């Protein structure tokens, strides 16, 4: 055998292996997971054919010798980098039938099997692991095995591959968006997968926030929406405890809106859920584990698709001539805010506290005010109480009129209280006029 030294796409290589074995495991009733730890590069130099042969042989044995209901984990990590070379470790761990410790020293011998019935029951010649060991040693690598009868087996392969020099890094600063401005949320109940996704994004200069459940993610998204600081991208795993990725997406689109692009992450073939997920509001799909090139391409695709959708469907309100009720006890603040509103030809009316604001709202006919700007800290009646009072009124516009909090309190618990009271948005003082105008344009119907 002769080893080839060619540049190959490591990300595509791992994806190909995962597609094959996740499908085999699903057919046999096994759970298959692939994890990448650390910053593995997307391109290396080596013999992809022989490396594939090594990993496929080990994974094939894992599938073969693991009974239904079992689990197979495939771990890939970079454990060292020096002088333009990376040392990679591949670990395949199963919960299969295992082997006696006395047999382990012979496992890489040719025609070696633990019992004579193995070839009949499992269709094995006993040559695969001997060839695998030979290939790994040709690569100046090493292969090790640990096993326990009835518990499972763990194979570890370590090889060193030359890095690809001067490979053009993915550049996402193409006029559409820049990494430092991105707000990304990764949602996955698997903490390892979450951390890996965050590392991949960090490598591209994007800071990511993590959520370990759909419920946690939903609350985080709701808070950011209320602050008018939405996530640009939400990466959501498909297979999670209730709600799963599709149901979470459906709730986001129904309750919060279309402002974030959503990419669905899955270790499975997404074709079986593609129609349902797309109908729920998913913009794009990507396979586990994540690599920066694949993710950034899907990121671009998803953002373009979401922006096109918003341009088609979102109608912004014309603010000129709109009557806005401003509840603010500080006269100077009220005067400044009224001048800001007049910049877009709105017609503000001032209430000195929450009690007066509720009375003014109640005394005018339905639809008279287009929105209410509500300071939270006021004498006689604070903003939360005033909002609750308005929402409880028995008139057609009481439940629908946009009420926007204006406050110096920007803690999560303050925003949560605002949402529970019925406020639509929570803007921090001093208020950015452009954010205020955009909020009013989007909320006024």
Enumerate residues 6+ apart whose C-beta is below 8 A from 391.
398, 399, 421, 422
Contact 289, 269 (CB under 8 A): no
Model confidence pLDDT, tens digit, residues 249-266? 999 999 888 889 999 988
Contact 223, 417 (CB under 8 A): no
Sorting pLDDT into bands at 50, 70 and 90, what band is 175? very low
Residue 266 bridge partners (DSSP) = 287
| Tokens 């019992």 belong to residue | 115
3-state helix, strand, coil split of the chain in percent (to 5) is 40, 25, 35
Section 117-125 average pLDDT: 45
Model confidence pLDDT, tens digit, residues 7-31? 999 988 998 898 889 889 989 999 9
Kindly state the tokens that stand for 229: 């600081």
What 334-339 contacts at long range (C-beta under 8 Å, 24+ apart), as own/partner pairs, is: 337/373, 337/406, 337/431
Section 275-282 average pLDDT: 92
What is the spatial distance between Cα 77 and Cα 40, in angstroms, rounded to a whole number?
7
Listed range (33-42, 370-379, 385-394) with the worst mean pLDDT: 33-42
Listed range (177-181, 357-361, 425-429) with the worst mean pLDDT: 177-181
Listed range (200-204, 227-231, 328-332, 419-423) with the worst mean pLDDT: 200-204
Listed range (49-58, 148-157, 186-195, 354-363) with the worst mean pLDDT: 186-195
Enumerate residues 6+ apart whose C-beta is below 8 A from 175.
none
CA atoms within 13 A on the CB side of 250: 12
Sorting pLDDT into bands at 50, 70 and 90, what band is 171? very low
Report which of residues 44 and 19 the model is more confident about: 44
Section 125-140 average pLDDT: 82
Preceding omega of 136 cis (within 30 degrees of 0): no
Output the average pLDDT for the chain.
Answer: 87
Sorting pLDDT into bands at 50, 70 and 90, what band is 115? low
Q: Give the DSSP letter of residue 180.
A: G
Sorting pLDDT into bands at 50, 70 and 90, what band is 177? low
- Residue 363 burial by Cβ neighbours in a 10 Å radius (0-12, 13-18, 19+): exposed
For residues 379, 380, 386 and 389, what is the CA-based torsion angle, rounded to 10 degrees? 170
């Amino acid at each position: 055998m002769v080893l080839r030294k060619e540049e190959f796409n490591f990300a595509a290589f791992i994806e190909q292996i995962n597609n094959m074995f996740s499908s085999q495991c699903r057919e046999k009733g096994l759970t298959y997971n692939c994890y990448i730890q650390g910053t593995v590069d997307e391109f290396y130099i080596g013999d992809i054919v022989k490396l594939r042969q090594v990993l496929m042989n080990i994974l094939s044995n894992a599938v073969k010798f693991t009974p239904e209901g079992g689990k197979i984990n495939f771990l890939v990590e970079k454990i060292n980098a020096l002088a333009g070379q990376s040392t990679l470790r591949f670990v395949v761990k199963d919960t299969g039938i295992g082997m006696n410790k006395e047999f382990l020293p012979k496992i890489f011998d040719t025609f070696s099997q633990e019992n004579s019935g193995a070839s009949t029951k499992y269709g094995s010649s006993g040559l695969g692991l001997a060839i695998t060991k030979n290939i790994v040693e040709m690569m100046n690598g090493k292969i090790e095995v640990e096993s326990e009868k009835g518990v499972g087996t763990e194979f570890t392969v370590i090889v060193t591959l030359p890095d690809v020099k001067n490979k053009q890094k993915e550049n996402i600063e193409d006029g559409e968006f820049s990494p430092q401005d991105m707000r990304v949320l990764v949602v996955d109940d698997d903490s390892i997968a979450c951390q890996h996704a965050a590392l991949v994004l960090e490598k591209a200069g994007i800071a990511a926030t993590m959520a370990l459940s759909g419920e946690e993610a939903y609350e985080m998204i709701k808070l950011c929406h209320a602050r008018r600081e939405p996530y640009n991208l939400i990466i959501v795993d498909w297979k999670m405890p209730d709600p799963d990725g599709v149901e979470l997406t459906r709730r986001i689109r129904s309750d919060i809106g279309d402002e974030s692009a959503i990419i669905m992450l899955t270790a499975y073939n997404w074709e079986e859920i593609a129609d349902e997920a797309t109908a729920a509001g998913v913009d794009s799909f990507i396979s586990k584990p994540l690599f920066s090139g694949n993710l950034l391409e899907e990121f671009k695709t998803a953002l373009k698709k979401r922006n096109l959708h918003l341009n088609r469907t979102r109608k912004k309100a014309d603010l000129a001539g709109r009557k806005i009720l401003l509840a603010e006890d500080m006269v100077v603040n009220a005067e400044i805010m009224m001048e800001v509103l007049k910049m877009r030809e709105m017609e503000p009316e001032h209430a000195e506290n929450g009690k007066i604001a509720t009375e003014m709202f109640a005394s005018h006919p339905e639809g008279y005010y287009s929105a209410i700007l509500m300071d939270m800290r006021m004498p006689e009646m604070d903003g939360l109480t005033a909002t609750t009072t308005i929402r409880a009124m028995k008139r057609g516009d009481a439940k629908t009129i946009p009420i926007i909090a204006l406050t110096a309190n920007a803690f999560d618990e303050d925003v949560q209280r605002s949402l529970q009271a019925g406020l639509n948005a929570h803007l921090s003082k001093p208020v950015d006029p452009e954010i205020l105008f955009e909020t009013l344009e989007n909320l006024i119907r």
